[in-house]
Amino acid sequence: MSQPGFTPAASLPQVTTVPAPLSGDRPPARRTNVLAIVALCCALLGVVTCLPAPIGAVLGHVARRHARERGEHGAGMALAAIIVGWVGFALLVAVVATCVGLVFYSVKHPNEFHGGFHHGGFDDMIQLAN
């Protein structure tokens, strides 16, 4: 005996659920090359401290090659590290060369720096005593 308004489960249409596609519709996300990030950090730190700039530039060359070969993001970051690193290194070399040149010039020409700021010292005390 059947109750009014009741239908047996066998007569209901079958409902099937379709799982959502996980990642089949879009390609997997490309990773950013970690070496490119490290290279840029070293190059930027090298501008401030002048020491790791060439390390950042060399790491940038390696990271750029890896990014191209592996299809990773970060080739632009690696290029920035190369540029900043070598420019920072060139500035360091220019500053050191200027300082060394000034030291050599001041040793060869000790009497050419008369101006402005006078410290006093032992020579002034001898002149005052005479």
In tens, the pLDDT along 17-37 reads: 656 555 556 667 778 899 999
**What are the tens digits of pLDDT across the range 78-118?**
999 999 999 999 998 999 999 999 999 888 887 776 555 55
Q: Using only C-alpha atoms, what is the Rg of the chain?
A: 36
**What are the tens digits of pLDDT across the range 40-68?**
999 999 988 878 899 999 999 999 999 99
